[in-house]
Amino acid sequence: MTEQIELIRKQQLRLAPLAITIWIIISAVGFWLIPQLLDSSMLVFASFFGGTSYLYGRDYWGGTFLRSVIAVILGVLLLAVMIGSAEYYFRNLGKPGSWTAFARIIAVEISLIVLTVIL
């Protein structure tokens, strides 16, 4: 029984650098996505609520406020995902659930990248 436990620990130690690398990449892509999502939100705001002024005058300040609020929300959300995913990955390292969580977060980030490219 102890041999099996030692084998599992060795496998987990070999997977730890890969998990850390993937987590760092996911976090970096998340930070990179924030300005892209802010620009996309401003584009949508200007398209629907900008009227003919295209964000001049009063509409500009409404868009600036919206961008600031979205920046705070995205920052807090990214921080929560980074901390939560790090805790989850390292508690469940080597288990299929850990890799499933990686795949889900990567899928969300890829879909957000596609969304910002399309807009």
Question: Looking at residue 46, what is its pLDDT?
Answer: 79
Within a domain: 68: no
pTM as predicted: 0.79
How many domains, the chain?
A: 1
Calculate mean pLDDT across residues 23-46. Answer: 91
pLDDT > 70 fraction of the chain, expressed in percent and rounded: 84
Within a domain: 11: yes
Question: Looking at residue 55, what is its pLDDT?
Answer: 57
Within a domain: 106: yes
Within a domain: 67: no
Q: What is the domain extent for residue 7?
A: 2-42+77-118
* pLDDT band at 32; cut points 50, 70, 90: very high
How far apart (Å, rounded) are the C-alpha atoms in residues 106 and 112? Answer: 10
Within a domain: 69: no
Within a domain: 88: yes
Question: Looking at residue 51, what is its pLDDT?
Answer: 66
DSSP 47-79: HHH-TTSSS-THHHHHHHHHHHHHHHHHHHHHH
* pLDDT band at 1; cut points 50, 70, 90: low
